[in-house]
Amino acid sequence: MGRKVEEGLVWRVVVVFVGLLLVLTAGALGQEAEKTNAGRHYWDVRSFGAVGDGKTDDTAAFQKALDAAGKAEGGTVFAGRGNYSFSGHLNVPTAVTLAGLWQSVPAHNGIRDRGLPKPTDDGTTFLVREGAGSEDGAAFITLNTNSTLKGVVLYYPEQNVDDVPKAYPWAIAMRGKNPAVLAVEMLNPYNGIDATRNERHLIRDVHGQPLRRGIMVDGIYDIGRIENVHFNPWWSHRPRLFQWQMANGEAFIFGKSDWEYVYNTFCFGYKVGYKFIRTRSGECNGNFLGIGADDCHTALVVEDCAPYGLLITNGEFVSFHGPDPTMIGIGAGNDGSVRFVNCAFWGPCNQIAKIAGRGTVGFGDCTFTQWGGKEGKRAAIQAESGTVLVRGCEFRQDRPQIVLGKGVRRAVIAENVFTGQERIVNEAEGNVQIGLNSSDSSGSGSRRLERRR
């Protein structure tokens, strides 16, 4: 009886051991199979001859790796830690991701070597050398349908931190359908991202200091997305270069786009923060949430936009330098609709908004501070023409609030709160409705300055 029990226990141990061995073997085989499968869709640039020493031209090695991934109908080309030098440009094939070490966009403000900036040695840095002296030519990196650039730093070592910058072609061009730029630091390109002639682009977690243009959007017939993009003078704040940037730089430029979605973006130190233009393709309409522009000569300019409009919500705009510091400029060519909701404007600037054109411009639940110029005599909102809506806003200084010129066709100025006296000058020849506004003064002390023909 005892022997049978012992034999039963032995068999049970054997069965358990064999089962465990089979499980371990199957797991090992599965892991090996996963490695083999991963190897078919993963290419390391060093396997194709890339060096990453900051001196050797790695253009050919990178392109070989990218072409191999493209031939395999997609995958990831990986560039590990190193300073990779490029004397040429790269084309990322369809369904291929060019990825660096970074999982989140890094910060490299204040990195200096004997007073000069240096490329980073703590991640994946691309040193761009091709095209100095001209904006013409191929972009450094061209993305195509379903291709992605992710986790790298782009650095132009031949730029001078305290001089007029050298012109270069675009750093990145986005083409095809669904190209993406993710977690990329554009440390000091002359031109940043050319997001034109594509569909459904995605630009997310991009930081840096583009010197002439940050992002250009045009020819978009299906929704584009720009999220968490911040342009600051992290690379150089030296006087000659930064003054040139403020006199010439444009951070975000929007031509034709059918519903561009822009969220949590910021720029500092440009001639124009956000610029909306008409191109051969058309104009922009879209949803802009949580956008900001600080220390720009004009924070936001609309030369023209689509009739169905620009919806700008929770924006923050600051202007206090330049020949005529202004938060919002609406051009004579605009015939679209622009709406600012729950936005804050401060300076000290000459005026919050200068409005022209035939379109509609509305301010709702906005806050206005620090306008009027040195003498404090300019109105916060100066409208020459078009349709103007100012409702539920707070004017936080005792200075002229609104001037409506002769060309204003329609206007509603209602339910606003004024610090001090109500100061509205109305010269409009169109239909203007003013009422239900509240000021600090009451009775005869509250006045409305009107001049009607």
Express each pLDDT in 243-283 by its tens digit.
Answer: 999 999 999 999 999 999 999 999 999 999 999 999 999 99
Q: 68 in a domain, yes or no?
A: yes
Examine the pLDDT at 112 and tell me if it is beyond 50: no
- CA–centroid distance for 179 within its chain: 15
Examine the pLDDT at 210 and tell me if it is beyond 80: yes
* Dihedral sign (CA 209, 111, 206, 363): negative
> Please, which residues have CB within 8 angstroms of residue 45's CB and are 6 or more apart in sequence?
58, 61, 62, 65, 77, 78, 79, 84
Model pTM? 0.88
Position 443 scores a pLDDT of 41
> Which 3 state secondary structure label does DSSP give 75?
strand
Position 106 scores a pLDDT of 86
Q: 301 in a domain, yes or no?
A: no
Closest CA to 328 of 306, 308, 350: 350
In this prediction, residue 12 has a pLDDT band, given cuts at 50, 70 and 90, of low
Q: Which of 11-25, 48-62, 144-158, 342-356 has the lowest mean pLDDT?
A: 11-25
303 to 123, 232, 306, 421: CA distances (angstroms): 41, 25, 11, 33
Examine the pLDDT at 8 and tell me if it is beyond 60: no
Position 358 scores a pLDDT of 96
Q: Which of 213-217, 308-312, 445-449 has the lowest mean pLDDT?
A: 445-449
Examine the pLDDT at 4 and tell me if it is beyond 90: no
Examine the pLDDT at 121 and tell me if it is beyond 80: no
358 contacts 330 by C-beta, under 8 angstroms: no
**How far apart are the C-alpha atoms of 273 and 327, rounded to whole Å?**
10
**How far apart are the C-alpha atoms of 218 and 195, rounded to whole Å?**
7
Position 107 scores a pLDDT of 78
Mean pLDDT value of segment 83-111 = 90
Position 220 scores a pLDDT of 96
Q: Indicate the average pLDDT of the chain.
A: 89
Q: Which of 32-46, 348-362, 381-395, 417-431 has the lowest mean pLDDT?
A: 32-46
The count of domains in the chain is: 1
In this prediction, residue 364 has a pLDDT band, given cuts at 50, 70 and 90, of very high
Q: 335 in a domain, yes or no?
A: no
Amino acid at 95: A
Position 174 scores a pLDDT of 98
Examine the pLDDT at 38 and tell me if it is beyond 50: no
10 Å CB burial of residue 202 (0-12, 13-18, 19+) is middle
Count CB-CB contacts under 10 A for residue 176.
Answer: 17
- % of the chain surpassing 70 pLDDT: 85
Closest CA to 276 of 377, 202, 395, 357: 357
Closest CA to 301 of 269, 329, 320, 265: 329
Position 31 scores a pLDDT of 42
Examine the pLDDT at 117 and tell me if it is beyond 50: no
Angle CA 178–308–181, to nearest 5: 20
- % of the chain surpassing 90 pLDDT: 82
**How far apart are the C-alpha atoms of 267 and 256, rounded to whole Å?**
21
Mean pLDDT value of segment 210-218 = 98
70: its two tokens: 């493209």
> Please, which residues have CB within 8 angstroms of residue 99's CB and are 6 or more apart in sequence?
76, 77, 78, 79, 148, 150, 151, 152
What are the residues facing 367 on neighbouring strands? 344, 394
In this prediction, residue 118 has a pLDDT band, given cuts at 50, 70 and 90, of low
Closest CA to 230 of 189, 269, 183, 265: 265
Examine the pLDDT at 193 and tell me if it is beyond 90: yes
429 to 115, 137, 409, 451, 453: CA distances (angstroms): 60, 51, 7, 10, 7
Examine the pLDDT at 402 and tell me if it is beyond 80: yes
Position 114 scores a pLDDT of 36
Examine the pLDDT at 22 and tell me if it is beyond 50: no
Domain carrying residue 157: 42-247
What are the residues facing 78 on neighbouring strands? 44, 99
* Dihedral sign (CA 77, 82, 83, 87): negative
Phi, psi of 44 (to 5 degrees): -95, 130
Q: 61 in a domain, yes or no?
A: yes
Output 111 or 242, whichever has higher pLDDT: 242
Q: 178 in a domain, yes or no?
A: yes
Q: 316 in a domain, yes or no?
A: no
CATH number at residue 190: 2.160.20
Helix (H) or strand (E) holding 21, with range, is helix 2-39
310 contacts 285 by C-beta, under 8 angstroms: yes
Examine the pLDDT at 444 and tell me if it is beyond 60: no
At 275-300, the pLDDT tens digits run 999 999 999 999 999 999 999 999 99
Torsion of CA 136, 138, 144, 149, to 10 degrees: -100
> Which 3 state secondary structure label does DSSP give 416?
coil
Paired sense of beta strands 326-330 and 298-302, if any: parallel
Q: What is the CA radius of gyration of the chain?
A: 29
**How far apart are the C-alpha atoms of 306 and 277, rounded to whole Å?**
10
231 contacts 267 by C-beta, under 8 angstroms: yes
Examine the pLDDT at 6 and tell me if it is beyond 80: no
Q: 29 in a domain, yes or no?
A: no
Position 249 scores a pLDDT of 98
Position 440 scores a pLDDT of 86
Q: 328 in a domain, yes or no?
A: no
